[in-house]
Amino acid sequence: MAIDVLQKIKVPVPADLFPLALTTFEKYMVSDDCPDYPMGFVIEITLSGQLDRERFESALDLATRRHPLLLATISTSSHRLLWQYSNQVPTVQWYEEPDTDDSVATGYINLRNMPGLKTVVWHETEKSRVSFLFHHAVVDGIGAMHFIGDLLAIYGQSTCALDDRQPELSTVISSTLHQRGELYPKDSQLDHSWLRTLRHLYEFMRYYPSGIASTNSEPYVSESKSRRPFLTRVLDRSQLTTIKNEAARLNVAPNDIYIANLFRTIKEWNQLHGRKIRKECYRIGIPASLRTPTHDNSPAANVLGFVFLNQPGKTIQDRDGLVQDIHKRTSQILSSTDSRLFSNFIKVGFSIPMLMSSLLKLPLRFSTATLANVGDVKRQLNSRFPLHKRKCIAGSVALEGLFGAAPIRKGTSVGLSLGTYTGRLLMNFNCDPTCFSRAESEQFADLFVSNLLDHNQQLEDK
């Protein structure tokens, strides 16, 4: 049955799809890539049940061919960067010992030599961990989760029992990749204001973001055999419900509370470590998906923009006022073209020879920290799965959790990534090891959680 199921899955890659010119944001990710601060990110999934190696590797092969940018490398032709289809069979590093460490789980991917995906499996009898390293020029977080959803759906179809409900594989149309650089929907109702554009540019140039206090004189080198290049904290269902209730009370989104809490945590961290900045101003970079109906059924890709929120240090103390101010700005972003401004600015930069490559080599801090929120993990997987105790069932395995954190560039000290699954809030902290020791990374994550819970617990008690 498994072979029949896999043979029926179509892999529609048009012969004329490649070569593909890189979009502006893809070029930015390639230009900003370096071994010390690689533009790669790790997503790790935890599975319960018996993972069949042969069927998993077959599912991985099919899934990558349904998402062909994951099998592409970069070449240069007439001074243009192009994606070329490598047609390589994806390899899996497979370990039967759970404590085995391997550097392939993290690190630098040179897209001129290899495709932008590495996969490692740590397998035990009834549980497994699968670690994916994606290059950010190839996919963003949502694109990576679409791919993982496809992989699990294909694997689930090949391993589920005859009487069990099968996962439903998402529809993928490879030719849609031609539209991944089209960021403005047809008949767009998004608000556009040149005055607001100039204000955003003025604020970005005027306020240089303050950094995070560091007492770490030596780059942190892990003494453990942790496969994750990030720290994870999890809030249970009742704690997440408290945060949602607080958001409803303030008539804001939970993400506005998370952003405000990150600002407050950074300021408090600097105060605790004796850092005094006369005119402190913190900036959080927030990746924003620019997908439109044009990108429906697209294979995994990077269709991303960035917005930046500046916050003077003196305005951070008033917690509720800060949340309301952030909500006002994020609401404006959602209803306007503001999330596309960064892509437009770097497009102008790339139009001037050597400008972007020179700027990215300078020791400039774009943001103090970044915060990415993927929302409901189950929804971002894109394929439909049977559920048991709110967990996605993929044939012989169940998805227990999905964890990952965005990469950080030089000068940005923390990357925080959030998502919800099975009613829990999953928080992943990517702390720059040149800024934080291992212990300090743990302390920063704990301070963020403590600030988030303590304030909401006080309100709940009242």
List Cβ neighbours of 100 (8 Å cut-off, separation of 6 or more).
Answer: 122, 225
d(CA 234, CA 427): 6
List, for residues 255-294, the tens digit of each pLDDT value: 999 999 999 999 999 999 877 767 889 999 999 988 888 8
Cis peptide bond upstream of 363, omega within 30: no
- Mean pLDDT, residues 158-181: 90
338: amino acid identity, one letter: D
Helix (H) or strand (E) holding 321: helix 319-334
pLDDT in the model for residue 79: 83
Based on the number of CB atoms within 10 Å of its own CB, is 16 exposed (0-12), middle (13-18) or buried (19 or more)?
A: exposed
Q: What confidence tier does 218 reach under pLDDT thresholds 50, 70, 90?
A: low
- Mean pLDDT, residues 61-78: 93
d(CA 137, CA 114): 13
Res 240 pLDDT > 90: yes
SS3 state at 237: helix
The domains located in the chain, with CATH, are 2-174 (3.30.559.10), 195-215+227-377+409-461 (3.30.559.30)
d(CA 429, CA 405): 6
d(CA 262, CA 248): 19
Read off the tokens for 120: 């490692």
Read off the tokens for 347: 């497009």
Res 373 pLDDT > 60: yes
- Mean pLDDT, residues 51-57: 95
Q: What confidence tier does 103 reach under pLDDT thresholds 50, 70, 90?
A: very low
For residue 191, give Cα distances in angstroms to 29, 194, 254, 292, 333.
Answer: 27, 10, 24, 15, 9
pLDDT in the model for residue 1: 46
The bridge status of strand 414-421 relative to strand 369-376 is parallel
Q: Which of these, 298, 337, 370, 307, lies nearest to 142 by C-alpha position?
A: 298
pLDDT in the model for residue 102: 52
List, for residues 382-409, the tens digit of each pLDDT value: 899 999 999 999 999 999 999 999 899 9
SS3 state at 325: helix
Q: What confidence tier does 106 reach under pLDDT thresholds 50, 70, 90?
A: low
pLDDT in the model for residue 224: 40
pLDDT in the model for residue 139: 97
Q: What confidence tier does 459 reach under pLDDT thresholds 50, 70, 90?
A: low
For residue 369, give Cα distances in angstroms to 353, 411, 459.
Answer: 29, 9, 27
pLDDT in the model for residue 217: 54
List Cβ neighbours of 390 (8 Å cut-off, separation of 6 or more).
Answer: 422, 423
SS3 state at 152: helix
Backbone angles phi, psi at 350, to 5 degrees: -75, -20
List Cβ neighbours of 135 (8 Å cut-off, separation of 6 or more).
Answer: 29, 33, 39, 40, 109, 111, 116, 117
Read off the tokens for 81: 């960067």
Residue that is written with structure tokens 């890659």 in the block: 13
List Cβ neighbours of 173 (8 Å cut-off, separation of 6 or more).
Answer: 12, 297, 298, 299
pLDDT in the model for residue 458: 57
Q: At what angle do helices 254-272 and 438-461 cross, to 10 degrees?
A: 120
pTM: 0.91
SS3 state at 289: strand
pLDDT in the model for residue 225: 41
- Mean pLDDT, residues 41-49: 95
pLDDT in the model for residue 344: 82
Mean pLDDT across the chain: 87
Selected residue with higher pLDDT from 219 and 233: 233
pLDDT in the model for residue 222: 44
pLDDT in the model for residue 159: 94
179: amino acid identity, one letter: Q
Q: What is the DSSP string of 103-150?
A: GGGSS---TTTS-SEEEEEEE-SSEEEEEEEEETTT--HHHHHHHHHH
Read off the tokens for 173: 């149309």
